[in-house]
Chain A
Amino acid sequence: MSRRGLTVRGLTVTDRTGTVIVDRLDLRIAPGEVLALVGPSGAGKTTVLRAVLGALPFGLTHGGGRIEWHGASVRAPRRWRRRTVGFLGQDPASALHPLLDARAAVREALPRSARAGGAEEQALAEVGLDPADIGQRRPHQLSGGQAQRVALARALAADPELLVLDEPTSALDPAALALALERVRRRRGDGRSVTLIVSHDMGVVSELADHVVRLDPDVRNDVAPRTPVRLEKTRKPGAGGEPVLEVRGVTIAQPPGGLPLLSDVDLAISSGETVAVLGPSGSGKSTLLRVLAGLHPAEHGRATVAGERLPWVVTERSPAAVRALALVGQNPLDVLNPARTVGAALARPLRTLRGLSRRVARAEALQLLATVGLPVELAYRYPAALSGGQRQRVALARALAGGPAVLLADEITAALDARTAGLVLDLIDTLRHDTGLAVLAVTHDPAVAARADRVLQVEGGRLHPDPCSHHDDRRPSLDAL
C-alpha cells in the first residue's frame, strides 16, 4: 500500500551544455494527496513536470532517477499518460488542436468506452460552457478564456488518476480557476486520485496541498537594482484635468462588421490615472485595447487623444497620436521578435517614434532597460535567453520608448509569477507618478484592479463602472507616497 501513488527518486535533468536544471529531486504523492511544487520562475518547476510525464523538451536530457507509478517504473510513458494523466499547461489555450472543435477536443481525451452518451457535453457543461453554443467552435473561434475552459474540460474529462496542473492561477481566469480548484478539493482524500500542482500562489498552495516542495535555483540574477526613472517629463504629473484619452459611443464587433461585442463604450482617462477593465472571457476587453491601438476597426463612435481626433486606422494617425498610445500584449512567448536582440527591439521605436539617430537610440535603449530594472547586458541577448518576466519588462520598455501618454496594458501580469508581477506593477506606478503616464489595463488579476483608480466592468456587452471601486480601501497605496 505504501508504494502506491507517484514516486520520483533522484530525478536529475541536464541541458545540452551539461548544466544541471533539476538536481536529484525526490517526490512522493500517495493516492488522495495533493503535492504543490513552488519556487521562483526559472527554478525548473515546469521541467520537473515534463520529466515526470516523460516528455522532456528537445535539448534537455533525463540525467538520472526513476519515475514510479504504483510501485513500478513507467515503461511506456506515452500510453501511461493517455490512460492515467490529465494535464493542464501554462498556456492551455495554445495547446488545443486548431482543427478540432471543442467537442472533439474533449472527446479525444476520453477513454474509448466513455465516448458514447454525451460525456463530452457533460464535461463542457461542468466547466461552465454551453455545449450547444461552444461545442462546434474551433480554437480560433473561441476567446482566450473559453479556450482555457475547453482545455480544462479536456484535462478533467476522463477523471484522470494523476492530474497535473501547471500554474493554474496564472493560466486560468478566476472563475475557471475556482472550478479547477473545486475539482482538486474533491479529489483530495478520495483514496484514488493523485494531484500535482505547480503554483506561485501561496494561498492556493497552503489551502489545497498536503505537501509543498520548494525548488530554488542556485543563481538568480534577473533583477538588477532599479535606477531612478529618467523619462522625458513632457506632461504634468497628477490625476485630474483634461482627459488624455476620451472614447465616446464606440461599438466593437468581432469579426469586424459582425455582431457587436461591446456597444456604446464611453471612457475618459486623465493623465496619471489607472483604469482597470474587468469582465468575463470573450467579452471584448482585449479587442477594445486593440481598437485603441489601431489594430482593429471600430464599428461606430469616436475617440480623442489629447483633444485631437483619433482615426481608427493606425496609418492615418498623426505621429503625435501614434506616440501617445502604446500597447503591451499578454503573451510573453511572442511579445519579442526571436530574431532581434533586446537592444535592437528597443532601438527601433526610439528611431521611428522619437527620430533618434542609430547611435543615440542604442544608448537610449540601455537607459530604457535600466528604467524597467533590467541589467544592461540583456541588450545583447536574444529573447530566447530571457525568462518570461524579463521579456514582459522588455516589452514594457519598448512600449515606453515613444514616451506614451496612455499605456494600453492587456493582461500584462497574466503569465508572470506574483513577485515579478509585483515588480512590473510597481514600475508602472512609479512611471505614473513621475511622468503622468495613464494606464488602461484589461485584467483578471485582483492585484492590478486593486491598484487602479477606477474599475470598469464589462457586462452584457456594455461597460459599467464597478461600484466596488469607490471604496477607499481599494485605492492604491503607492499614490500616498
Chain B
Amino acid sequence: MKRANGSLLKRSGDAADRSVPARSAEPDGSPSARRRSPAMLVFGGLSGVVLLVALGGEVVAGHDPAAIVAAPWAEVASGLPFGADALGRDVLARVLAGGRDLTLTSLAAALTASALGVAGGLWVGWSRGRLGRAVAGASDLLLALPLLLLALLAVVALPGPAAVIAGTVLGGTPLTLRVVADATAAARQAGYVEAALSRGETGGAVLLREVLPAHAGLVCADLGQRMVLAVQLAAALNVLGFGPAPPAPDWAAMLRENLQGLGLNPAATIAPAVALAVLAGSVAALSHCLVARDGLS
C-alpha cells in the first residue's frame, strides 16, 4: 500500500531529510527528527487518563457501586451528578467502577493478538518459505469468516474474558500479520538489513534488533487498532449478557440495563456510552498519530 504511490512518498521523505541539515545545529545534538507532535501529546494524555480512570476509578467512586442510594431513575441532583439507575444505584459510581474488567480484558486481548501477529508477520515476511506462505494464506482465510460469528462460538465455549481474547486473536491477528509481513519483506532489501546480515548477524538478531525497531511505530499503531477491536468485541459480548454477573458494574451491561429508562434519566445511558466511546476513540486517535509520525499514511 505504501509502494503504490511510492514516488511521492519516497521523494517526500528525501526532500524533507535534505532540508534538515541546514537547520540541525542544535547544541545538544538532540534527535530532532523524532519530535513529538502536539496532537500526539493530547491523544496520548487522553488515552492515559481514560485508562487510569477505567482501571482505578473504583477507588474514587465514593459510593459502593452496588449500593442502592436513591429512588429508581432518580434524576441528576447534588451528590448524584449522573442520577440513579433502574435499581436506584449511583450511576457515577458505576461508571467509575465499570471500566476496569472491560479495559483489562481488552488490553490483554489486544496485546495477545498483536504479539502473535507481530511474531508471525516477522517470520512469514522473513522466511519466504512454502510454510510461511501457507500460514499467510490460512490467516487470510480466517479474515474471510464473519468475526461476530466466531466470537459468539468462542463465548459459548469459553468464559467471557477468554472469549474476547479468542475473538480478537481470530479477527485481529491476521491483519497484524499481514501488515508486519509486508513491512518485513520490504525491509529485507534495505541497506541496514543487508549490512547486518553480511557482518554475520543471525536472522533472529536482525529481526529483533533491526527490523522490529525500525517498524516500532507501525507495530504500536497496529496495537492501537487491535485495542479498538477488542473494546468493541468486549462491549458487544457484554451487551449481549456474556459479561460480568448482574450486580457487578460494567459500561456495556449498563447500556443494556439503563436503555429502558432513557426518558427518565438519560444520563444513566449516555455516561457509560461516552466512556466507551472516549476509550476507543482516544486509543484510535493515538494510533493514527503514531502512523502519521512514521510517515505511513
Contact = CB atoms under 8 A, between A and B. Distances in A.
Interface of A: 15, 17, 19, 21, 41-44, 46-47, 50, 55-60, 89-91, 94-99, 217-222, 290, 293-295, 314-315, 317, 319, 322, 325-327, 329-331, 333-341, 345, 348-349, 352-353, 377-388, 390, 395, 398-399, 402
12 contacts: A57-B12, A91-B14, A94-B10, A97-B4, A294-B197, A294-B200, A314-B200, A334-B189, A334-B191, A339-B213, A340-B192, A381-B29
In this complex, the member of B12, B22, B32, B189 whose beta carbon has the largest number of chain A beta carbons within 10 angstroms is B22
Given A322-B199, A382-B34, A395-B195, A217 B22 contact: yes
Given A337-B213, A382-B31, A314 B198 contact: yes
A382 B33 contact: yes
Contacts of B14: 46, 90-91, 333, 388
A371 to B, nearest CB: 17
Nearest to A349: B199
Contacts of B214: 337-339
B263 interface: no
Contact of B21 (A42, A55, A329): A42
B216 interface: yes
Contacts of B195: 327, 329, 335, 395, 398-399
Nearest to A375: B29
A44 B17 CA distance: 10
B191 A348 contact: no
A96 B11 CA distance: 12
Contacts of A377: 29
B15 interface: yes
B25 to A, nearest CB: 6
A89 B6 CA distance: 12
Shortest 5 CB-CB distances between A and B: which pairs? A57-B12, A384-B33, A95-B7, A335-B191, A339-B213
A398 B193 CA distance: 13
B104 to A, nearest CB: 30
A352 B192 CA distance: 15
A17 B10 CA distance: 22
A98 B10 CA distance: 13
A284 B24 CA distance: 39
Contacts of B192: 334-337, 340, 345
B213 A340 contact: yes
B25 A295 contact: no
Contacts of B10: 91, 94-95, 333
Name the prevailing secondary structure of the A interface residues.
loop
B78 interface: no
B130 interface: no
B18 A333 contact: no
Contacts, number: 180
B56 to A, nearest CB: 33
Given A337-B210, A337-B213, A89 B11 contact: yes
Contacts of B21: 42, 221-222, 385-387, 390
A88 B199 CA distance: 35
Interface residues of B, number: 46
Contacts of A89: 7, 11
Nearest to B294: A338
A319 B200 contact: yes
Contacts of B34: 382, 384
Nearest to A380: B29
B295 A58 contact: yes
B16 to A, nearest CB: 5
Contacts of B33: 381-385
B147 to A, nearest CB: 29
Contacts of B201: 352
Contacts of A382: 31, 33-34
A322 B200 CA distance: 6
Given A15-B19, A314-B197, A349-B199, 7 more contacts: A15-B23, A50-B15, A57-B15, A96-B6, A293-B198, A327-B195, A385-B31
Contact of A295 (B22, B190, B198): B198
B194 interface: yes
A59 B7 CA distance: 17
A294 B202 CA distance: 12
B144 interface: no
B139 to A, nearest CB: 22
Contacts of A341: 31
Given A58-B12, A89-B11, A341-B31, A336 B191 contact: yes
Contact of A381 (B15, B18, B31, B194): B31
Contact of B19 (A47, A222, A326): A47
B7 A219 contact: no
Nearest to A45: B18
A219 B19 CA distance: 12
Contacts of A326: 198-199
B28 to A, nearest CB: 8
Contact of A42 (B4, B18, B29, B295): B18
A177 B222 CA distance: 43
A402 B199 contact: yes
B131 interface: no
In this complex, the member of B8, B194, B195, B214 whose beta carbon has the largest number of chain A beta carbons within 10 angstroms is B195
B31 A294 contact: no
Interface string B31-43: 1111000000000
A294 to B, nearest CB: 6
Contacts of A330: 191
Interface string B218-254: 0000000000000000000000000000000000000
A97 B6 contact: yes
Interface string B84-104: 000000000000000000000
Nearest to B192: A337
A214 to B, nearest CB: 15
A293 B194 contact: yes
B15 A352 contact: no
B138 interface: no
B13 interface: yes
A386 B29 CA distance: 12
Contacts of B209: 348
Contacts of B198: 293-295, 314, 322, 325-327
In this complex, the member of A220, A317, A322, A338 whose beta carbon has the largest number of chain B beta carbons within 10 angstroms is A338
